[in-house]
Chain A
Amino acid sequence: MTLDWSVVWDNRWRLIAGAEMTILLTAITMMLALPGGLILALLRLSPLRAVRSATTWFVEFFRATPLILQIYWMFYVLPAAFDIRLSEFATALLGLTLNVSSFNSETFRAGIQSIRPGQWNAGLALGMSKPQVMRKIILPQATLRVLPALASTWVSLFKDTSLVSIIAVADLSYVALKIRSETYRVLEVLTAMAALYCLMGYPQAKLVDWLHRRLKVTE
């Protein structure tokens, strides 16, 4: 079996463009999913039972079903059943954002609930309203506490963007698989794809480890 790595070198710009799309998708999704997750978390902690219930079902549904199926569902069902026509990129973004928002909402909720009740009591005793306490006292502490978990979610999201290749969004996986089917150099192209993901993912994972060490909670 002879290996011909020139295929990878010749197509390097396409692969790099794919990597850029992967990073773009990750960044935009996280930008939307952080506030999205926070909103869902606050809705889950709402005093109104109906709001709490509906949000819980929403979040649990997105956490218990595979992301790939969610993306397929949005891609095929939105135009066919609801007459909503989005571009592939928008559909992918929608699917990823809703999914990651649900995971983020659990993270934020855990962070908010981990702040000692004394903080709440002190804030309320000082005459602040509940939203004020949440905004000025609880959320800043909670966000710092869950930053490592959010960073882990970022790395997972980075890997999950590979799934948008199935609806022909030109991320790294899509581009690599396309090059493979054009050149039939299976081992070289697929190994290059794995290596590129590793190259991008490994520093991120180490950064997350550093964040975990740095922001460890010691009470």
Chain B
Amino acid sequence: MDIDVSPLILNWQFILTGLGFTISLSLLSIILGAAIGIFGGVARTYGGPLLDTIGGVYVDLVRSIPVLAILVWTYFAFPLVIGESLTPFTGGVLALGVHLGAYITETIRAGLTSVRPGQMRAALALGMSRTQAIRTIILPQAVIRMLPPLGSLIVIAVKDSAIASVIAVPELLRQSQVLAGKTFRPFEIYTSAMLIYFLICYPTARMIDRIYRNLAPLGAS
């Protein structure tokens, strides 16, 4: 087996464009997912039974469907519903963001409800309003507890961005596919794509672990 990395070196800008799309797709879907998730999580915990049920339906629906199915539906079927076509990138961000939002909703809900009810009762007994109690007592403890699952969701978001290649978003996997098809050197190209993803995800995961290890004692109650 001869290894020839020259196609990679010659086409480095092509691959770099893909990497840029991967990073921007991941970041934007994380931001969208976080926005949906924070709203959903808070609504499910403190919004009353109606919002809880609606949120529950959203979460159960999105978490039962594969990312591939959500991506394909958002890019091909959703434009038929709204009458506007979406670019692949927009479709990718929307689908991945909605998918991530369901998981973040559950993470935030779990974090908020994991703080012992006695804390809320004590705060209310001391005369704080509900908002004050949530802001000063519950949230600081809850946020620390949410960090590990949120961290792993960030890594999952980067990995799921690769699935957007099926709707032709020109991210790293898609660029690798195109290049491998053109140059017939799948081993070098796909292996380096794997290495690039590893170099993005593994340090991120370890860094999040380290941050949490330092912050964890603050979240115990």
A joins B in a complex = yes
Hey, which bits of chain A sit against chain B, CB under 8 A? Answer: 1, 60-61, 63-70, 72-73, 76-77, 80-82, 159-163, 165-166, 173, 177, 180, 186-187, 190-191, 193-194, 197-198, 200-202, 204-205
20 contacts between A and B (CB under 8 A): A63-B205, A65-B197, A69-B190, A69-B193, A76-B190, A77-B186, A77-B187, A80-B187, A82-B1, A163-B68, A166-B166, A173-B72, A180-B76, A190-B72, A190-B76, A190-B77, A193-B73, A194-B73, A197-B66, A197-B69
Which residues of chain B are near A68, meaning CB under 8 Å? 162-163, 165, 173
In the bound complex, residues from chain A placing their C-beta under 8 Å from that of B191 are: 73, 77
Is residue B155 contacting chain A, with contact meaning CB distance below 8 A? yes
Chain A residues within an 8 Å CB radius of B81: 187
| Chain B, Cβ-Cβ closest to A74 | B190
B211 interfacial contact with A, CB 8 Å: no
Give the CA-CA distance A198 to B81 in the complex, in Å. 20
Interface flags for B188-209 (1: CB within 8 Å of A; 0: not) read 0011011001100110010000
The interface-forming segment of B9-17, B56-64, B132-140 is B56-64
* Nearest A residue to B152, CB-CB: A63
With A77-B191, A81-B187, A191-B77 as given contacts, are A66 and B68 in contact (CB-CB < 8 Å)?
no
With contact pairs A173-B68, A187-B77, A193-B69 given, residues A80 and B173 touching in the complex (Cβ less than 8 Å):
no
Known: A66-B173, A81-B1, A177-B72. A205 touches B63 (CB 8 A): yes
Inter-chain contacts of B177 with A (CB < 8 A) = 72
Contacts known (A60-B202, A190-B76, A198-B65); A73 close to B190, Cβ less than 8 A: yes
Q: Are B163 and A66 closer than 8 Å at their CB atoms? A: yes
Identify A186's interface contact among B66, B80, B176, B193, CB under 8 A.
B80
CA distance A197 to B64 in the complex (A): 7
Complex: A65 Cα to B202 Cα, angstroms: 9
Q: Which residue of A lies closest to B2 (CB)?
A: A81
- How distant is the Cα of A186 from the Cα of B70 in the complex, in angstroms? 13
* Docked CA distance A186–B173 (Å): 25
Indicate if the CB atoms of B60 and A162 lie closer than 8 Å.
no
What A residues does B165 contact at CB under 8 A? 68
Complexed CA–CA distance, A180 and B191 (Å): 33
For A67, what are the chain B residues with a Cβ–Cβ distance below 8 Å? 159
A34 to chain B, nearest CB (A): 21
10 closest Cβ pairs, A-B complex: A201-B64, A66-B162, A162-B66, A76-B186, A64-B201, A159-B66, A81-B187, A66-B159, A64-B202, A190-B77
- What is the distance, in angstroms, from A74's C-beta to the closest C-beta of chain B? 9
Interface residue tally for chain B (C-beta within 8 Å) = 40
B residues contacting A by CB (< 8 A) are 1, 60-61, 63-70, 72-73, 76-77, 80-81, 155, 159-163, 165-166, 173, 176-177, 180, 186-187, 190-191, 193-194, 197-198, 201-202, 205
Q: Report the bound CA distance from A63 to B165 in whole Å.
A: 19
Q: In the complex the two chains form, is B66's CB within 8 Å of A173's CB?
A: yes
**A interface majority secondary structure:** helix
A201 to B177, CA, bound (A): 31
With contacts A1-B80, A194-B73 taken as known, whether A61 is within 8 angstroms of B198 at the C-beta atoms is: yes
Q: Which residues of A contact B162 (CB under 8 A)?
A: 66, 68-69
Q: Are B198 and A65 in contact (CB under 8 A)?
A: yes
Q: Which of A72, A81, A173 contacts B173 (CB 8 A)?
A: A72
The CA-CA distance from A1 to B180 in the complex, in Å, is: 40
Q: Say how far B165's CB is from chain A's closest CB, in angstroms.
A: 7
Contacts of A187 in B (CB 8 A): 77, 80-81
* A66 CA / B202 CA spacing, docked (Å): 12
A64-B198, A72-B177 given; 10 more Cβ-contact pairs under 8 Å: A68-B162, A77-B191, A82-B1, A159-B66, A173-B68, A186-B77, A190-B72, A190-B76, A200-B64, A201-B65
Contacts of A80 in B (CB 8 A): 186-187
Q: Do the beta carbons of A191 and B73 come within 8 Å of each other?
A: yes
